[in-house]
Amino acid sequence: MREPMPRFRLPRWPWLLLILVLGLLLMRLPGWWLGPEFPTYAVQSGPLLANVVATGRVRTPSRVTLGSEIAGVLIERHVAEGDRVEPGQVVARLRADELQARLNETEAALAQLEQRQRPESRAALREARARADQARREAERAATLLASGLIARERAEQAQETLAIAAAQADRAATVASALAEGGVEERLLRERIASARAQLQRSEIRSSVAGTVLRRLAEPGDVLGAGRGIVEVAVDGPTEIVAQVDERNLDRLALGQPALVSADAFPERREPGEVSFIAPSVEAQTGTVEVRVRLPQPPAYLRQDMTVSIDIEVGRREQALSLPLDALRNPRPGAAEVWVLREGRVERLSVRTGLRGLERVELLEGLAAGERVLPARLNPPLGSRARAVDAG
């Protein structure tokens, strides 16, 4: 019998290798045909808030310096930083020994006028008038005797001269008595001096003219102060303002009355409502910023003078709008930009018209529809190339 021929068998590993290669080819085929994957943004429809964010500092509308109107030595200061002051409250005192002595001296002069000089002037006036009356009678008698030839003319002339002197003395006494009378010149002068001395003495007590909070001490007891020297600085009570410098590129988006939220760096979880109360009419040339003030009608107690805060100004709102993340825009300019969009699996360049711009997203007015996929501006695949979209988040 003829022995059967042995069957030839191929090794198993080439088949396994072939299957592996075919599997890899099948896995790569979509990429070769459809293009590589790129992260993309979807055009979304929904509410959109446009805002401007800046950093500012807390400031009251006004600060005043309470100081001395006269020169003197500060002997007492009754307030320190953080203390409340009210109108009329004494905040400091100057040494007033000399001023008190001057007032006492003037009051003593007025008392002397009322108790001694005025009665003496009245008595002197009565005496002078009596002498003048006596001299008048003597002059009349002498004139009668001269007419009868009983006395010499010289004696009659002496009587007339005595009358003139007595009349002059009576007039002088009347003038002095009038000046020293109640409501007269001397009394008015002394009372004005008393009022001036009291005013000077009152100026030695430095009183607050406003209600507010002490910010700084400017002088200490023992300091020699000149007229006008400040003693304490006070923040006047009133609506608190936030003063911030905003980039001038946002100027066209700002308007008075816009709502804003304020948060302090020390209390980031709290946000206080306010509104834009002032926009500077000029731009700071060196920094390219414009001063904006946000007023807080009910400032919380934790806001301190000169505290650093962040302000978020709402410059526009859309209840429903198409929007994209800002970093999808290329060559952005006012009201327009370019995007790279995936359409039918290929990368295309497209011009779009933009509207409100928020912190992260921008409104799309024309050019795209909801759901379309746009590449981030950092990616630059060849225009017209194939690509597949994955969500960029």
pLDDT of residue 352: 92
The tens place of each residue's pLDDT in the chain, 393 residues long, gives: 455 555 545 455 565 666 665 555 445 545 444 578 888 899 989 888 888 888 999 887 678 888 888 888 999 999 998 888 999 999 999 998 888 899 899 989 889 988 998 898 889 889 989 998 998 998 888 888 888 888 888 888 888 898 899 889 989 988 888 888 888 888 899 899 999 999 888 888 999 988 888 888 999 998 998 888 899 998 888 777 889 999 888 888 889 999 999 988 788 788 889 999 999 999 998 889 999 999 988 888 788 878 889 998 888 888 888 999 989 999 888 889 999 999 888 999 999 999 888 778 888 998 888 989 999 988 888 888 888 888 876
Fold of 46-59+238-391: Elongation Factor Tu (Ef-tu); domain 3 (2.40.30)
Paired residues of 76 in beta bridges: 93
pLDDT of residue 20: 65
Distance CA 324, CA 363 (A): 7
Buried b (16+ CB within 10 A) or exposed e, 14-52: eeeeeeeeeeeeeeeeeeeeebeebebbebeeeebebbb
Pick the CATH number of 63-95+204-236 from 1.10.240.10, 3.30.9.10, 2.60.40.3120, 2.40.50.100: 2.40.50.100
- Among candidate residues 336, 378, 387, 383, the one with its CA nearest the CA of residue 357: 336
Residue 108 backbone dihedrals phi, psi, to 5 degrees: -65, -40
pLDDT of residue 393: 62
Residue 32 backbone dihedrals phi, psi, to 5 degrees: -65, -35
The tokens for 83 are 């203390």
CB 330 within 8 A of CB 377: yes
DSSP state of 328: G
Q: Cα 39 vs. chain centroid, distance in angstroms?
A: 49
CB 349 within 8 A of CB 340: yes
pLDDT of residue 301: 78
The tokens for 189 are 């002068």
- Among candidate residues 336, 57, 76, the one with its CA nearest the CA of residue 232: 76
Region of residue 82 (phi > 0: left; psi between -120 and 50: alpha; otherwise: beta) = left
At 80, the amino acid letter reads: A
Alpha helices of 225-285 — where are they, by DSSP H? none
Q: Work out the end-to-end distance of the chain between its first and last CA atoms, rounded to an integer number of angstroms.
A: 78
DSSP state of 386: B
